[in-house]
Structure formats: C-alpha cells, structure tokens
Amino acid sequence: MKHTASLDDVLAEVAVLVRPHFGKGRTASYIPQLAGVDPKKFGMAICTIKGEESVIGDADEPFSAQSITKLFSLGLALNAIGDEVWTRVGKEPSGTPFNYLSQLEQEEGIPRNPFINPGALAVTDILLDVVKSPDAFVRDFMGMLANAPLTIDEAVATSELETGHKNRAITNLMRGFGTITHPVDAVMEAYCRQCAVTITCRQLARAALPLAAKGFSPIVEETVFHERLNRRLNALLLTCGIYDSVGSFAYRVGLPAKSGVGGGIVAVVPGQATIAVWSPELDRFGTSVVGASALEHFSQLTNCSVL
C-alpha cells in the first residue's frame, strides 16, 4: 500500500467520503433477525502483516458474518480433503444470484463455485464427513485466527432455518443428484448456524490475515493454509467472492474479497494487509453499499489494487 498519511488518517477520510451512500441500500429483510439492524452502522478495520491495526466507527461491534464464513469453511474443507472438493463444487463465477436454482439443475447439481449458497451447502456436507458439528468447527477456526472467542447468534440461526425455504430446495435438489450425501436437515442446520457466527471488523481483519501472509497467521504464529492453497483461495475471492457483481467490484476495488448479507466485507491486499468493513444496507446483489464504497475509496487512496 502506498500512502503518505497514517492508516488512521486514511480511514478518517474514507468515513467522510462514504457518507453520501447511506440510505442507498436496504438491510437483508428476508432474514427477519437482520432486518432490524441499525442501517447507519459503519465500522472498518485494517490489520497489516507487520502487526499494525487501525479501526474506525463501529469496528468493535459484533455483526452477523453470514456468507463471509464460506471462506473459512472452504479453507477447512480443502485442508481436510484437498482437491477432492472440486469433484463436487466448481471454480467458476456464477453470473446468477447466490441462491439461483435453475442453473444448478441444468448443471446436474454441481454448484458453480463454493461461495454461492449451493456451493457452500456442498462444502458443509463435505465437512460433515470430517466433524460432527461443522458450524462449531468453522466458528472455532475463525475464533482461533482472530484470537477471540466467537459466538453463534441462536436467534439469527433459527430465523434463517425457519425462512430458508429456497436453501432447503437447493439442498434437496443436490441431494437428488448425489452432490449432497448427508440428510438435508443436518446440512441445513449446520449451514444456518455457521452463517450466524458473529464477529467484529477488527476480529474479521485478524482472522483473514493469513490470506495476506502466504497462509501464515501472524496473530497465532502458525501456518493455516499452505502457500499454494492460499493463492487459490485469493483467486476464488477475486473471481467469485462478490456473487454476480464480482466484475463490477473488481473494476472498482481491485482486491480479492468476500461479502455477506449481514453487511460485512473482508478484502485482502496480498503481502500486506486485510481490511474488514461493515455497514448493513445492501445493494440488489447482497453486498454492502457503504462497505463497497469504503473499499473503493481505500483502494484509490492507498493505491493497493492488485489489478
């Protein structure tokens, strides 16, 4: 990252630049427990591989990680069974919404990538071969990397499980094709509970730091992804991490990133730092409006785009 101002000054400037974007999106109303989150919340955190941290706003307030957890569940699955993951999940951008059904049926139950809902459900099914409770496995892995105990919001998990009719249809469809091998109820419960992990921006930036450090976590002083796997995770983030607006995000921001409908986004500056931002109002693709704007301004101010 090239900047003359301190990271604190950069974040302060970003916080001013994003103000016009508040009110341009909506919270995730299809998940009742997320609909009531204060839309004016905004937090941002940066964690460098050298141990420097900078935060602003609501960076220490927990929010629902949602699909950001898919990054960590995929890493765990690849660590567990390696490239066998790719026999059940693809690596291509979907070009369709994250819960799209017809594409999945046309392609005989093989999801396009592990970051759309069908792909993440397939990864959950894989983890059920490895551990009894994939949700706790993912929560504890993220917590270890963040050096902080994380929790699962039971109200959010229940809300998602009770209203996740389309995800249940997706899981049943993949079960019919043999992509899913465990009972649908078990996969759904583990997936919804995983998505309900709560985390702060500061914790999320720390948890994702191995992606900026060739798989090594400076927080826990341990290699969690071998270098080849780390490169592949970053590649998937760049091409698939922001659903069907990934091209626009790459054009604007130019960083590998993963978003969640809780309003969080985590981005990676390879070899340098991770950035986590949270603001609950979403665009029509399910990505934080203010969060994407914040990362765009940060990328421009620091010239940290990888593209």
Point out the catalytic residue in the list 18, 159, 243, 277.
Answer: 243
Q: Are strands 222-223 and 197-199 parallel, antiparallel or unpaired?
A: unpaired
- Helix (H/G/I), strand (E/B), else coil: 89: coil
Say which DSSP state 86 is in: G
Q: Is-contact 21 188, C-beta < 8 A?
A: no
The residue from 18, 187, 261, 289 that is catalytic is 261
Single out the residue of 5, 16, 44 nearest to residue 301, CA to CA: 5
Alpha-carbon distance of 120 to 67, in angstroms, equals 9
Is residue 261 part of the annotated active site? The answer reads yes
CA–CA distance, 190 with 124 (Å, rounded to integer): 7
Catalytic residue among 54, 64, 67, 299: 67
> Residues within the annotated binding site for substrate?
67, 117, 160, 167, 191, 243, 261
Active site residue 243: yes
In b/e form, how buried is each residue of 288-302, taking b as 16+ CB within 10 angstroms? bbbbbbbbbbbbebb
Burial 209-247 (b: 16+ CB within 10 A, else e): bbbbbbbbbbbeeeebbeeebbebbbebbbbbbbbbbbe
Active-site residue identified among 100, 191, 268, 279:
191
Is-catalytic flag, 191? yes
Q: How far apart are CA 149 and CA 103, in angstroms?
A: 38
Active-site residue (options: 14, 37, 55, 70): 70
Residue list for the binding site: 67, 117, 160, 167, 191, 243, 261
Q: Calculate the alpha carbon distances from 171 to 123, 151, 165 in Å.
A: 12, 25, 10
Task: List residues with catalytic annotation.
Answer: 67, 70, 191, 243, 261
